[in-house]
Amino acid sequence: MTAKVSIVIVNWNGGEEFLDCLKSLRDARTVCDFDVVVIDNNSRDGSREQAQKAFPEFQILNSGANLGFARANNRARGIVRSPYVLFLNPDTKVASASIPAMVKILDQHAGVGAVGCKLTDEDGTVHDLGLQWFPTPWTEFLNLLFVSQKTFRAVAKIAGTVDANSSGEVQKLYGGCIMVRREVLEKIGWLDDRYFMYAEDVDLCRSIRDGGWKLFYTSEATVVHHAGVTSAKAPSGFAVLMKCESIGKLMTKYYGLSGHAFYRIAVFVGASIRLLVVGVVNLLKVFVGRFDASPIRKCCMLVGWSIGVRRAKIPG
């Protein structure tokens, strides 16, 4: 009998966090029946072999290379048969009641194409849902100017955001945990594999909404997400540069070459302004022994990408 949900996980050197994720799924199986398909991007930390030995009930496949997030997820297209597909990050832990709560939303609301859930840190701190707008060169420029959480919250009050502790329809979900109807995925063509990593969740949400379906966020389902654990194992600067490249591709897809060009200009101007601000702030911090070079390095990487002298190096 086909399970109602197929959970698809892409792993790349996920280590203990990946194994903890699978353990949480094993525990959750006591209250909900689902299949688990892991597409491993040729991990070299032994996590794939450990998972195959410890979790024989799950299907764990080696892609043979680091395909990135979207392409690897799409490898599951010919495998899953369940009516619902849950894309889940390997650095998560799923509460037992969360999967049934997400299934319930799709069961009861035929017009909802995908549902997301509450993501938290290990200590229970709830992740913000962010600004509910689709990226444009202008919005990305504004994002670069959010020098602090205070400025972000001020803009959020004006531009609109969603309370992460309340359930309801949203404009955008985040890729750590998204459950999608398989019929929707088949109609939109699954994930766009032009994105190696980042932006594919935003693009997926856009495609679902353009197809006439709604997106729903439920605060009744909770998943612990150790954000950035896997990307931290990539070469220095990878996350910053890959985000730029992926968003650049998003701009080209929806706004053409002119949109991509405007995005590069927005990154250059925004990062330059931010570099000036954080540079002055850190100069003042020198006198109290709190100098932090990391924001300056990030801004320099952004400027370098915008003028074409920096690119993300995809790890093997």
Q: Would you list the DSSP string of 233-248?
A: GSSTTHHHHHHHHHHH
Residues 195, 138: Cα–Cα separation, whole Å: 21
Residues 141, 143: Cα–Cα separation, whole Å: 5
The architecture of the domain spanning 5-129+164-231 is Alpha-Beta Complex (3.90)
| Structure token digits, residue 249 | 């591709």
- Tokens 């990307």, residue? 231
Half-sphere exposure of 236 (CA within 13 A, CB side): 4
| pLDDT score for 293 | 73
Rounded to 5 degrees, what are φ and ψ at 121? -80, 175
Name the residue ranges covered by the structural domains of the chain: 5-129+164-231, 232-306
Any alpha helices (H) in 175-237, and if so which ranges? 182-188, 200-210
| Structure token digits, residue 223 | 């998943």
pTM for the full model? 0.90
Q: Residue-wise pLDDT tens for the chain (316 aa)?
A: 678 999 999 999 999 999 999 999 999 998 889 999 999 999 999 999 999 999 999 999 999 999 999 999 999 999 999 999 999 999 999 999 999 999 999 999 999 999 999 999 999 999 888 777 888 888 888 777 765 555 656 666 655 567 888 999 999 998 899 999 999 999 999 999 999 999 999 999 999 999 999 999 999 999 999 876 666 666 678 999 999 999 999 999 999 999 999 999 999 998 998 888 877 766 666 565 666 678 888 889 999 999 999 999 888 7
| pLDDT score for 278 | 77
Cross-strand partners of 169 = 216
| pLDDT score for 159 | 58
